[in-house]
């Protein structure tokens, strides 16, 4: 049983690795490999389900590899299979298999044919990792894989302006969800003093005993989980990203934003249900978020002229109802609702090109006058107001920009006088003083010692805000991201029990890729002029360089291909539970540095090709 369960995780990863070795021109082998991978996993899953149900269908937990361990901290991979995982894995495997077969012909002779199948297999590997995760750390690995796969598939048509721009927008919302999960993990370490497993969270006595004396910590963790789930499942106030994600090919829209990825937020709430089921305020809040999203999304879906956008908002409305069902404790109904909504939206998106042509032809031969709806009985002013709000999508995207991104950009632009030379002149002495103080902390006055982590955390946020808002110098933005990570490590190093080996682990995934990225950008600068005021599209001219730089960006943003991924969790484990402001500033730094490096990659290597034309960004 355990070997079969590990095989469920290994098959998509092996398929993804093999797909990277196939030549781009060999479309037949690529599609057969992807389809064969998914069929193989589905057959293993059916065999596993049969054995699992024959043995009583009780939850199966496997503790596997320890990625990092010392006296104070352990990063453990843990896997869990239960009813929730069974429904999500079977639904996901079947849908991805069908969409892969469909894509074999739909994307025939498309320029990014190989890239599409590589990314789909990578996405499904992350999806499987999330569904079978037995603790937050394992789930976070798959969560990050889903995020970057979403970015790559939305920006599939990478020589166009709008898909790349929308991919960055979607990634920015995903990044908020990532940090919500990171903060939940941070406080969970302080609550349990271990990497708690989901199986242990399902034990009422264990959870009740801890929350009885730490109720506010429980509320904080639950709110962060709701934040993460809402961002991933496009619930209010993060709803505006879902229709923007439809810029990718129709098959990827069907997999991601109609059926699977968009339901992962609901999966997270079901997986952690036993933790917050007795927190009435959280249950009410989840239900309110769900029903409000359902009402708003339904009104927007009714006035859309694009089929894909209409399906996106309809799916969003149904997921809002799933949130309500989860809050009411109706897990079985929520699982059935998920499977039904996933299959329906996949079907709607895959047939949408044909449906549009049929409807255009049909309206000429079978025209019918519009029938009256319930809106016709409303007062005209209210009817028109609702219509205009729905047409404008309730101004959700503008709200996010006005309240969140624009203030940070304005603050970053106030630091326009910063250049590489001035940054180094300020940073080197400030950082050297910090290192000196951290080594000789016994000579620091108590008041100063308590405030140094906060001061350096604020400095780190200012540095990364400048990187996030930088519009001219690519090298400066890249350097500021690296400096931000160094400042975060220094800020947390003032806390007690912080081993220097932890700093080395964290920064090893930053400094090496940071230096390699600097060298690569310098090399491009000698040939081109890659500013950040518009898209350059150099991936068409330097495809290998673009791939290497993407890997460096992922390493710098804490993706699970470098020690920084474990180091981020390790850094947060050293932030005390009473240092909420420092945790918030560190989380903000992680949001912005991830966005800054992806923005650098997108501006330099994606978008309309350099030398033809370009769009200035707003």
CA distance 283 to 105: 45
pLDDT at 71: 67
The residue that leads in pLDDT, 119 or 439, is 119
Give the Cα-Cα-Cα angle 485, 488, 492 (nearest 5 degrees): 145
CA distance 529 to 432: 33
What distances in angstroms separate CA 545 from CA 225, 524, 540, 605, one per listed residue? 37, 9, 10, 9
pLDDT in tens, 300-333: 888 887 788 888 888 899 999 999 999 999 999 9
CA distance 226 to 293: 14
pLDDT in tens, 369-409: 667 776 777 788 887 888 888 887 787 877 777 777 777 77
Give the Cα-Cα-Cα angle 34, 39, 42 (nearest 5 degrees): 130
Lowest mean pLDDT among 142-156, 191-205, 506-520: 191-205
pLDDT at 337: 94
pLDDT in tens, 326-358: 999 999 999 999 999 999 988 888 887 777 666
What value does the mean pLDDT take over residues 270-297?
92
CA distance 137 to 205: 23
pLDDT in tens, 45-88: 999 999 999 988 888 888 777 777 776 677 788 899 999 999 99
pLDDT at 473: 86
pLDDT at 83: 92
CA distance 551 to 369: 56
Q: Is 178 in contact with 238 (CB distance < 8 Å)?
A: no
pLDDT at 370: 66
177 pLDDT above the threshold of 90: no
pLDDT in tens, 566-618: 888 888 888 888 888 888 888 888 888 888 999 999 999 988 875 544 444 43
Which residues, including other chains, have CB under 8 Å from residue 294's CB and lie 6 or more apart? 317, 318, 320, 321, 324
3-state secondary structure 93-133: HHHHHHHHHHHHHHCCCCCCHHHHHHHHHHHHHHHHHHHCE
As a whole-number percent, the residues of the chain with pLDDT over 90 amount to: 27
pLDDT at 615: 43
What value does the mean pLDDT take over residues 456-462?
88
**Ranges of H-type helices in 328-439:** 331-365, 380-391, 396-400, 406-413, 420-439
DSSP for 301-333? HTT-SSHHHHHHHHHHHHHHHHHHHHHTT-HHH
pLDDT at 498: 63
What distances in angstroms separate CA 428 from CA 424, 433, 484, 504, one per listed residue? 6, 9, 13, 19
Q: With bands split at pLDDT 50, 70 and 90, how would you rate the model's confidence at 497?
A: low
CA distance 445 to 184: 32
Domain residue spans of the chain: 2-360, 395-605
pLDDT at 362: 62
Q: Is 121 in contact with 15 (CB distance < 8 Å)?
A: yes
pLDDT in tens, 526-545: 888 777 888 888 888 888 89
Q: What is the mean pLDDT of the chain?
A: 85
Q: With bands split at pLDDT 50, 70 and 90, how would you rate the model's confidence at 416?
A: confident
pLDDT at 618: 36
CA distance 612 to 302: 39
CA distance 540 to 75: 39
Return the SS3 of 272.
coil
260 pLDDT above the threshold of 60: yes
């Amino acid at each position: 049983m355990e070997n079969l369960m590990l095989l469920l995780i290994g098959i998509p990863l092996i398929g993804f690795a093999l797909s990277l070795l196939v030549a781009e021109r060999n479309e037949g082998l690529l599609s057969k490999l992807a389809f064969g991978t998914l069929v193989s996993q589905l057959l293993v899953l059916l065999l596993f389900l049969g054995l699992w149900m024959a043995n009583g269908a009780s939850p199966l937990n496997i503790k596997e590899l320890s990625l990092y361990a010392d006296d104070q901290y352990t990063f453990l991979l843990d896997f869990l299979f239960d009813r929730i995982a069974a429904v999500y894995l079977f639904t996901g495997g079947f849908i991805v298999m069908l969409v892969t077969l469909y894509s074999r012909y739909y994307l025939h002779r498309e320029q990014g044919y190989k890239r599409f199948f590589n990314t789909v297999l990578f996405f499904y590997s992350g999806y499987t990792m999330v569904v079978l995760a037995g603790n937050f750390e394992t789930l976070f690995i798959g969560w990050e894989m889903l995020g970057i796969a979403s970015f790559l598939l939305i920006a599939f048509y990478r020589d166009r302006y709008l898909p790349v721009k929308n991919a960055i927008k979607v990634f920015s919302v995903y990044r908020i969800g990532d940090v919500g999960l990171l903060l939940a993990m941070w406080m969970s370490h302080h609550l349990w003093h271990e990497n708690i497993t989901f199986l242990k969270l399902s034990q009422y006595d264990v959870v009740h005993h801890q929350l009885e004396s730490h109720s506010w910590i429980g509320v904080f963790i639950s709110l962060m989980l709701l934040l993460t789930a809402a961002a991933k499942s496009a619930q209010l106030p993060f709803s505006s990203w879902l229709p923007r994600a439809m810029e990718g090919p129709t098959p990827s829209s069907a997999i991601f934003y109609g059926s699977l990825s968009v339901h992962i937020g609901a999966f997270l709430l079901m997986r952690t249900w036993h933790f917050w089921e007795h927190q009435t305020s959280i249950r009410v809040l989840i239900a309110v978020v769900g029903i409000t999203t359902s009402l708003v999304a339904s009104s927007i879906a009714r006035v859309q002229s694009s089929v894909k956008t209409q399906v996106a908002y309809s799916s969003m409305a149904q997921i809002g109802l799933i949130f309500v069902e989860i809050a009411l404790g109706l897990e079985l109904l929520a699982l059935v609702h998920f499977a039904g909504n996933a299959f329906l939206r996949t079907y709607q998106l895959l047939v949408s090109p044909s449906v549009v042509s049929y409807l255009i032809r049909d309206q000429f031969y079978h025209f019918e006058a519009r029938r009256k709806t319930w809106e016709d009985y409303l007062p005209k002013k209210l009817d028109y107001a609702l219509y205009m709000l729905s047409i404008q999508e309730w101004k959700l995207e503008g709200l996010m920009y006005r309240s969140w991104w624009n203030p940070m950009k304005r603050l970053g632009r106030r630091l326009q006088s910063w250049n590489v030379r001035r940054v180094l002149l300020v940073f080197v002495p400030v950082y050297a003083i910090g290192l000196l103080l951290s080594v000789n902390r016994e000579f620091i006055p108590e008041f100063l010692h308590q405030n140094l982590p906060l001061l350096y955390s604020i400095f780190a946020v200012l540095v990364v805000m400048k990187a996030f808002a930088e519009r001219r110098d690519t090298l400066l933005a890249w350097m500021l991201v690296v400096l931000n990570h160094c400042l975060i490590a220094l800020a947390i190093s003032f806390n007690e029990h912080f081993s220097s080996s932890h700093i080395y682990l964290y920064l090893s995934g930053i400094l090496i890729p940071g230096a390699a990225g600097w060298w690569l950008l310098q090399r491009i600068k000698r040939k081109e002029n890659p500013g950040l005021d518009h898209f350059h599209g150099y991936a068409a001219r330097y495809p290998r360089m673009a791939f290497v730089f993407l890997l460096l960006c992922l390493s710098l943003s804490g993706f699970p291909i470098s020690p920084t991924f474990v180091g981020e969790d390790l850094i947060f484990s050293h932030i005390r539970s009473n240092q909420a402001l420092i945790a918030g500033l560190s989380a903000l730094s992680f949001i912005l540095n991830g966005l800054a490096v992806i923005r650098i990659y997108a501006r330099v290597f994606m978008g309309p090709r350099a030398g033809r034309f370009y769009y200035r960004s707003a």
